[in-house]
Amino acid sequence: MPAIVLPFLPLLSGVLVYLFGRDSERKAYRISLFFSFLTAFVSLLLLIAYLREGSFKVGLTPFLSFYIDALSVVMAVAVSFISLVVHAYSIRYMQDDEGYARFFALLDLMTFSILITVIAGNLLLMFVGWNLIGVILYFLLSHNLRFEQAHRFGAWTFLTHRIGDLPLLFAILLLFESYGTFEIDKVREGLLSGNVPDNLELVGILVVLSAFAKSAQFPLHVWLPYTMAGPTPVSALMHAGIVNAGGFLINRFAPVFYHAEYGLHLAFWVGLITAILGSTLMLLQTDIKKSLGYSTVGQMGYMIMECGVGAFALAIYHLIAHGIFKATLFMGSGGVIHEARKDPNIPEDEVYSFFVKRELPPTRLPWIVFALITVSVPLIIVLLAHLVAGVDVFKYQGALILLFFGWVTGAQTIFSIYKLGARSVYKLLLFVILSFSVVVLGYVFIGHSFEKFLYPDKEFIERIYHNAGIHPTVFELQIILLTVVVALGWLLVYYANQNRDVVMPKFRSLYVALYTHLSRELYVADLYEAVAKKLTELSSKLNRSLRWL
């Protein structure tokens, strides 16, 4: 019963808000907030039902059916509670908006679309929800009817999502051709029973391509950072529950990757490129929301890369953790912007003194000591955390990749402390190491627990890890290359802090050119603009020629 009721509660709320809330702001938000509470409560009942009964399927018709398993339950609870927080935040944030009731109705419809997608028991029903997410997102981003920029980039988002819908539709049709059904549980049974069609590699690639569009992977990433003109609650919901949908989609089609491997390799390389590109472009932004947008691009690249190395459960954990974190950041960014407009004075703390005044703190550790701490301590912490959790990090390439990135993240954190410096450097270093230890232990234990909850069949997840592997020589060269790039970056920063000329005169023009191209975001947005302009001109010429017919 909770599974049938759950997705239709926000749909009913949207209809009631539209019918009865247009004349009263108080009535609009009260209806919407009440149903949001109810939706979150029913999602918890659904979780309890799953823990008691295990996976099950309910429905009114073969099309309108819902498949309840560990993945759908986890996603339903996360989406319901994040939606509740965004609804509560929007009550005062949107209080002076002319389309107040329309905004809450659209939020409810978005929650309905996401819930339909995550608990659908029929592939066509899932595709309907997947498609509706992009449609309703367009209306939310274009909510301000007087803001031309919002409409313009809302249209970019709409078109990008429509491009991403096509591969998913083709993948669903190919699976139907092979198994004669759209029901997710029956397709899953067919895949795991060994009945593998010849086109399964193509299905895996199509699923991954669809995930790329929804999760803003390069070169389809442009829509995400350019949609910051929409209301802040929309940005929070988008970064918490919509852009993460690519990770969910790959997990939903996990049985496909039990046999197919090319899609996993594609996901790893595109995710890696997107993670590096998004993180780099984030550093060049001057707008706080656009900077957060590119930060999300980088995080989504990392999430897709986790899928690419076979860490499907870890990608879901990353999805939820990043969603909560980034939703909080976006909801706080509005307050930061308002406070900065009231008081533009920047407090002169250690960060300000270092980056603006270029004043070094009085106490600094010797460079060689800090270098040894930077390299060794994070590696020891990451290894011990995995060993304590009982994770065999040396068995699969995917686990080694995640171990490598955990080490780099920790080393970068400690290196930043050396770069910044502090008045009590020993105390600060101790707190950083303790904080990093807590984070890594939590990440490993929760991620490992998620894997046992989502994929209790150990053979299943081991097969996916195996499929994600590449040739050992290529893997080793890949790790060496990444290590060299990271080490060179640290050396450049170190020499820059010593006030040395880190760029030789003959390389200075190359450095300037690289910065110029990155500041223009590698011209991807300009390319889209040029294509759109040409298509518009072609459309105008075609209309004029048809006028004479």
Q: What is the DSSP letter of 238?
A: I
Residue for token digits 């499929």?
467
Could you report the per-residue pLDDT of 107-166, keeping only the tens digit for each? 888 889 999 988 888 899 999 999 898 888 888 887 776 666 767 777 778 888 888 889
| CA gap 75, 519 in Å, rounded | 36
Number of C-beta neighbours around residue 77 at 10 A: 17
Q: What is the DSSP letter of 64?
A: S
Least confident of 42-56, 240-254, 446-460: 446-460
Domain's final residue, options 481, 502, 523:
502
What string of DSSP letters covers 3-28?
Answer: HHHTTHHHHHHHHHHHHHSTT-HHHH
Average pLDDT, rounded, for the chain = 76
**68 has which bridge partners?**
56
One domain for residues 43 and 109? yes
More confident residue, 233 or 419: 233
312 within a domain of the structure (yes/no): yes
One domain for residues 155 and 89? no
One domain for residues 428 and 520? no
126 within a domain of the structure (yes/no): no
What string of DSSP letters covers 180-230?
Answer: S--BHHHHHHHHHTT---TTHHHHHHHHHHHHHHHTT-TTS-TTTGGGTTS
350 within a domain of the structure (yes/no): no
Could you report the per-residue pLDDT of 330-339, keeping only the tens digit for each? 777 666 665 6
One domain for residues 384 and 453? yes
351 within a domain of the structure (yes/no): no
- How many domains is the chain partitioned into structurally? 4
Confidence of residue 355 (pLDDT cuts 50, 70, 90): very low
Confidence of residue 233 (pLDDT cuts 50, 70, 90): confident
One domain for residues 24 and 60? yes
458 within a domain of the structure (yes/no): yes
- The range of the structural domain enclosing residue 453 comes to 359-502
Domain's final residue, options 304, 321, 345:
345
User: What whole-number percentage of the chain has pLDDT above 90?
Assistant: 4
3-class SS of residue 97: coil
DSSP-derived pairing of the beta strands 65-68 and 56-59: antiparallel
One domain for residues 274 and 392? no
Q: Could you tell me which residues come within 8 angstroms of residue 224 by beta carbon, excluding any fewer than 6 positions away?
A: 216, 243, 293, 296, 297
Could you report the per-residue pLDDT of 24-71, keeping only the tens digit for each? 767 777 888 888 889 888 888 888 888 888 888 887 777 788 888 888
More confident residue, 277 or 439: 277
Instruction: Indicate the helix (H) or strand (E) that contains 56.
Output: strand 56-59
| CA gap 381, 437 in Å, rounded | 6
Least confident of 68-77, 179-188, 498-507: 498-507
Could you report the per-residue pLDDT of 499-542, keeping only the tens digit for each? 555 555 556 666 677 777 777 777 777 787 777 777 777 767 77
Query: Are residues 226 and 156 in contact, defined by beta-carbon separation less than 8 angstroms?
Result: yes
For residue 39, which amino acid is it? T
Number of C-beta neighbours around residue 541 at 10 A: 10
Instruction: Indicate the helix (H) or strand (E) that contains 54.
Output: none
One domain for residues 176 and 43? no
One domain for residues 261 and 367? no
Q: Could you tell me which residues come within 8 angstroms of residue 136 by beta carbon, excluding any fewer than 6 positions away?
A: 106, 109, 110, 113
Phi, psi of 187 (to 5 degrees): -65, -40
One domain for residues 491 and 513? no
CA triple 25-27-30, angle to 5 deg: 105
Which pLDDT does position 419 carry in this prediction?
A: 56
One domain for residues 289 and 370? no
532 within a domain of the structure (yes/no): yes
Which pLDDT does position 457 carry in this prediction?
A: 81
Query: Are residues 394 and 400 in contact, defined by beta-carbon separation less than 8 angstroms?
Result: yes
Q: What is the DSSP letter of 241?
A: I
Confidence of residue 414 (pLDDT cuts 50, 70, 90): low
One domain for residues 112 and 197? no
Which pLDDT does position 35 carry in this prediction?
A: 87
Confidence of residue 391 (pLDDT cuts 50, 70, 90): low
Respond yes or no on whether the N-terminal peptide bond of residue 219 is cis (omega within 30° of 0).
yes
Domain's final residue, options 295, 311, 345:
345
Could you report the per-residue pLDDT of 366-390, keeping only the tens digit for each? 666 666 666 676 667 666 666 665 5
Confidence of residue 206 (pLDDT cuts 50, 70, 90): very high
| CA gap 489, 52 in Å, rounded | 52
Q: Is the torsion defined by CA of 164, 165, 170, 174 positive or negative?
A: positive
For residue 495, which amino acid is it? Y
More confident residue, 194 or 179: 179
380 within a domain of the structure (yes/no): yes
Which pLDDT does position 107 carry in this prediction?
A: 87
| CA gap 140, 162 in Å, rounded | 16
354 within a domain of the structure (yes/no): no
Which pLDDT does position 127 carry in this prediction?
A: 92
- Quote the pTM value: 0.81
Q: Assign 3-class secondary structure to 344-410.
A: CCCCCCHHHHHHCCCCCCCCCCCHHHHHHHHHHHHHHHHHHHHHHCCCCCCCCHHHHHHHHHHHHHH
One domain for residues 399 and 496? yes
